[in-house]
Amino acid sequence: MSSSIPVINITDMADPVVTPAIAAARHGDSNFPDRLSAEDILARAQAETGLHDFGEETGFRERLAVLLQSLDEDEGLTRGGRVNILQHAVRVMANRLRIEDLVKKHPEILDIPIEKPIFIAGLPRSGTTHLVNWLSRDERLNSLTLWESEEPVPSVQLADGEADPRQARSAEFWAHFGSMLPHMAAMHEMAANDIHEDNELMFMDMNCYNWEFTSRLPRWIDHYLAHDRTVSYAYEKKVLQVISWYRGVEPGQPGRRRWLLKSPQHMENLQAIKNIFPDATMVITHRDPVDVLRSLTTMLGYSDRIRRDPVNPPELARHWASRIERLLRECVDQRSAWGDDQCMNILFHEYMADQEDMARRIYQLAGLELSPDVEAKLLGYLNENPRHAHGKVIYDLEGVFDTNVAELRDRFAFYYDQFPVKQEQ
């Protein structure tokens, strides 16, 4: 490791230093209740927007009720942790109301085709964020920014040239988050204008697994995995059509840009994606799940200090070892939904060894020309965003998180048998 790269060792993982800002986050907005029913959530969204039609019943009400029940069962979550999720639930239901209202006024939106999208799937911490931000430099592709994913439809009419308050709200929120957790930038930086995960769009159908990163929701996870997620990917397609419309795309318009989308959640929804986007290109990154767990538990354990009291690193590791196993089993079971003419597997160690060759392989699979001009733009991103630019984080899965790595390797043997990932440590 170069001596110029700062080393970050988070020594207070199990007993974090609680700053005034973190204490305030643990308490949450005093004016917002920390217990709400599903009907309360929906009523607040209606009051906020002045709208009442949530559109076709897709099971989102049931999923919302299960989420809230699971939330009540999470005994380690602080008041602020619950408030944050409840506020989020109100926001995404308000988004759904605005989406349905817009489509009702402009039904032609549903005639906008989402043709040959490129999906990137892979475990958290397996290079998907880097890959999607890198390929997004190709201006022929449509990519989703964080602020757009959080609020796909503006709440107010904007004049030409007027700054979008959605972008400002997102930037303010994540700047505050980063100020409380300064080491997060070295693990997974969140910035309003960065390219982000499209699974955020499934929040509007109450089927985004991102709830799991801020709480322990075994009941919700069981319910989610027990039901077909195709209906929620159909709703994601509707939201992509809405965003395309805002970008000036019209039905039948020639020269449409292909969507470039990514999420770890896609890894366990390969069949559902194939059902809704049959002409898509699927790129799946694969990394040793033990090394994923090293990185993921550190990232989530570090951020738990703003929402859990006490924090419990070993319990976190046990929870995510189980969750990753279930995700990987879904991936192994569903991989056959995609033929090799539409899907490729990327091994993390091969990707890190030769990123340029990997880009060429992805472009070939997707049927896209990789011109010298596009290749130069992609290389520009790599040069501007070297690995460990914000520092190298030290991980201690065995010590801080009390995890037996040999037992984990046995647990994930079914995955190693399918995909020859390199065991990094």
pLDDT in tens, 275-324: 999 999 999 999 999 999 999 999 999 999 999 999 999 999 999 999 99
For the CA atoms of 283, 289, 291, 293, the dihedral, rounded to the nearest 10 degrees, stands at 110
CATH of domain 7-153+164-251+260-418: 3.40.50.300
Identify the CA nearest to 5 among candidates 354, 299, 393: 393
Q: Is the pLDDT of residue 4 over 50?
A: yes
CA dist 359 and 277 (Å) reads 22
Query: Helices 20-27 & 79-105, crossing angle to 10 degrees?
Result: 60
Task: Give the per-residue pLDDT at 171.
Answer: 93
Distance, in Å, from the CA atom of 193 to the CA atom of 170, rounded to the nearest integer, reads 9
pLDDT value at position 3? 56
- Rounded distance, CA 377 to CA 373, Å? 7
The more confident residue out of 45 and 355 is: 45
Is 6 a residue whose pLDDT tops 90?
no
Q: Which band of pLDDT confidence, cut at 50, 70 and 90, is reported for residue 161?
A: confident
Per-residue pLDDT reduced to its tens digit, 228-280: 999 999 999 999 999 999 998 877 665 568 999 999 999 999 999 999 999 99
Whether 2 has a pLDDT exceeding 70, the answer reads no
Instruction: Give me the percent of the chain exceeding a pLDDT of 70.
Output: 97
Return mean pLDDT, the chain. Answer: 92
End-to-end CA distance of the chain: 15
Q: Does the structure show a pLDDT above 60 at 59? A: yes
- Poorest-pLDDT segment among 62-66, 184-188, 328-332, 358-362: 184-188
Helix (H) or strand (E) holding 286: strand 281-286
Q: pTM for this one?
A: 0.94
* Whole-number percent of the chain with pLDDT over 90: 76
- Measured from the Cβ of residue 250, the count of other Cβ atoms closer than 10 Å reads 12
pLDDT, position 1: 46
pLDDT at residue 336 is higher than 50: yes
DSSP-derived 3-state class of residue 282: strand
